[in-house]
Chain A
Amino acid sequence: MSSSVSARSLRKQFGETRALDEVSFDVEPGELFGFIGPDGGGKSTLFRILVTVMTPDSGEAQVLGLDVVRDLWALRRRVGYMPGRFSLYPDLSVEENLRFFASVFGTTLERELQYIAPIYDQIAPFRDRRAAALSGGMKQKLALCCALVHRPEILVLDEPTTGIDAVSRRELWDLLGRLREQGMTVVVSTPYMDEANRCDRVALMQSGRVIALDTPAAVAASLGRPLFAVRAGARHRALNVLRSFPHAHSVLPFGDVHHVTDVRRDVPADVIADELRRYLADAGFADAEVAPAAPTVEDVFIDRMGAPR
């Protein structure tokens, strides 16, 4: 089965900035594929190339078997795109926006109402409200409807969860999951590392490069060294103490615990844990808890990303 998206050695430069640096990947049909990484990583540029709004400086990409540079007009009918910024008309109502995008793609709202119902039902009570007056979560749902209204074969969503609250984010991912279950190929980008777990496969992007690509579980497991979660009162002081641990490789706050990795690869995990407990106790943290922890995508991202930009 051929890929829904196939990219080879994509490069794009803006003046002095290298936005994309030899990016290659494949997305399989029906996959929920996530690009994870901070702003400036190249995700938006990559997405713009995939939906034919930009051309790469070199390299090539195919979406649904069509070349993104040559076959742009054929491709545009079949791709649903949600740009990074809110891209709808603020002075038009919810319904007016939908009708506009439906007609631009040669269909009508009535014809597609059933298809977009799962999402549209959530914003239908506000159908006459001007788009500018919607909350962040509502705007994204409307943008999603507009991207879907012409029944695309692939959805490309650029940071749909940025700037909206945790509840709306979950709802949006639920919707994306449901779309994937119905067979839609979904390509999405996000700066939130924890959202990686909702994807079938993820590509971590930093400074225009893909620094990891696999299922979230495989990416997380690829850390390559044991990880410990340390819980101690007085978190900030504990952090500094841990940093002074002679074998510490990385010490990072992670919510209410600290993630610690050790430079030594040959020492068993329980030995390291004991050493850490003793070290903390000596520094006054008698009640500190040290337990092995499963690495997360974020741990791997930090490990691979190199110097912060």
Chain B
Amino acid sequence: MNRDEADPGNPVEAGLDTAIEANELTRKFGAFTAVDRISFDVRQGEVFGFLGANGAGKTTAIRMLTGLLTPSGGSARVAGHDVYTEGEQIKRRIGYMSQRFSLYEDLSPRENIRLYGGIYDLTAAEIRERSAEMLSRLGIEAVGSRPVRELPLGWRQKLAFSVALLHRPSIVFLDEPTSGVDPVTRRQFWELIYEAAGRGTSVLVTTHYMDEAEYCDRLSIMVAGRIAAIGAPAELKKEHGTGSIDDLFVRLARPAVSESKGPA
């Protein structure tokens, strides 16, 4: 599928692989409903922006989709597997990178690659080959054996992303991957995202940089546990009459943010 063609249309077309299908997905914590019946899908090879204010339920939703949290209601399939019953299979077919943690800092890039290769059960040959390719593509062969903490932040993030893709997952979840990184590295990072998507990997990314929201094929904005808007950036702007996603976000999220209950 040519991901460059804008396809404003709708959800699930027969015969097309969807990386994520969520239907009325819900999660409650006691009396507090963190995620309130959200429905959306992410297609194969799509870059999907998952936006929302702090406390809007984004993190909870992602935890359900990555098999870390069991939903309270609704249904979801990730990489073709049911989130309730096939958690283990999901974990094998997805990649994950969070800004809080990505790589072990006292290990070198090579060692990190070997570790994750081992965890995802790649063969020694596969690991060797992908490691060499990755280090050369990122241009970090020279420092491939130094501890990761000695690498500049931008390189670390790019490496972490590549490692998340090491086992060729069908979908990768990125949690604020470019936080605090310089503007050039951010763009280089997004090139990596495009390349991955071009190879057929779906990418679900959360970010607080509103200009990055524009880079996505489609995006959703969560407000108070619900999806307030979903669609391609251009369409959404036209529909709501705003000049930027930033303005759109503010318009949708402002009332809810003032009364935010905060994370459970």
Within the assembled complex, what's the spacing in Å between the Cα atoms of A144 and B46?
40
Which residue of A is nearest B195, CB measured? A236
Is there contact, CB below 8 Å, between B54 and A136? yes
Q: Which of B54, B233, B254 has the most CB of A within 10 A?
A: B54
Contact of A138 among B4, B234, B244, B262 (CB under 8 A): B262
B253 at the interface (CB under 8 A from A): yes
Interface size on A, residues (CB 8 A): 44
B40 at the interface (CB under 8 A from A): no
Contact of A165 among B52, B185, B214, B245 (CB under 8 A): B52
Is there contact, CB below 8 Å, between A164 and B208? yes
Contact of B183 among A235, A255, A301 (CB under 8 A): A301
Within 289-304 of A, Cβ neighbours of B (below 8 Å) are at 298, 301-302
Is there contact, CB below 8 Å, between A38 and B180? yes
A38-B183, A40-B153, A165-B253 given; A255·B211 CB < 8 A? yes
Contact of B153 among A38, A138, A256 (CB under 8 A): A38
Within the assembled complex, what's the spacing in Å between the Cα atoms of A163 and B258?
17
Q: Using Cβ atoms and an 8 Å threshold, which residues of chain B touch A2?
A: none
Contact of B184 among A40, A254, A308 (CB under 8 A): A308
Proximity string of chain B (242-264) to chain A, C-beta cutoff 8 Å, 1 when within and 0 when not: 00111001100110011011110
Within 100-154 of B, Cβ neighbours of A (below 8 Å) are at 152-154
Is there contact, CB below 8 Å, between A167 and B253? yes
Q: Which of A38, A122, A137, A302 has the most CB of B within 10 A?
A: A38
Proximity string of chain B (143-187) to chain A, C-beta cutoff 8 Å, 1 when within and 0 when not: 000000000111000000000000000000000100111111101
Give chain A nearest CB distance to B56 CB in angstroms: 8
Is there contact, CB below 8 Å, between A165 and B54? yes
Is there contact, CB below 8 Å, between B182 and A308? yes
Q: Using Cβ atoms and an 8 Å threshold, which residues of chain B touch A194?
A: 211
Within the assembled complex, what's the spacing in Å between the Cα atoms of A194 and B212?
13
A163-B179, A256-B233 given; A137·B54 CB < 8 A? yes
Is there contact, CB below 8 Å, between A166 and B180? no
Within the assembled complex, what's the spacing in Å between the Cα atoms of A235 and B215?
9
Contact of A38 among B182, B233, B254 (CB under 8 A): B182
Within 188-211 of A, Cβ neighbours of B (below 8 Å) are at 191-194, 206
Q: Using Cβ atoms and an 8 Å threshold, which residues of chain A touch B261?
A: 135
A116 at the interface (CB under 8 A from B): no
Within the assembled complex, what's the spacing in Å between the Cα atoms of A309 and B194?
21
Q: Using Cβ atoms and an 8 Å threshold, which residues of chain B touch A38?
A: 153-154, 180-183, 185
A129 at the interface (CB under 8 A from B): yes
A170 at the interface (CB under 8 A from B): yes
Give chain A nearest CB distance to B33 CB in angstroms: 16
Contact of B182 among A170, A206, A236, A237 (CB under 8 A): A206
Within the assembled complex, what's the spacing in Å between the Cα atoms of A133 and B254?
20
B84 at the interface (CB under 8 A from A): no
Within the assembled complex, what's the spacing in Å between the Cα atoms of A202 and B82?
51
Within 193-222 of B, Cβ neighbours of A (below 8 Å) are at 194, 198, 208-211, 214-215
Given contacts A37-B182, A126-B262, 7 further A-B contacts (CB under 8 A): A39-B180, A40-B153, A135-B54, A166-B246, A255-B245, A308-B154, A308-B182
Q: List 7 A-B residue pairs with CB atoms under 8 Å apart, sorted by A's residue number.
A: A162-B180, A163-B208, A166-B249, A192-B209, A194-B211, A237-B4, A308-B188
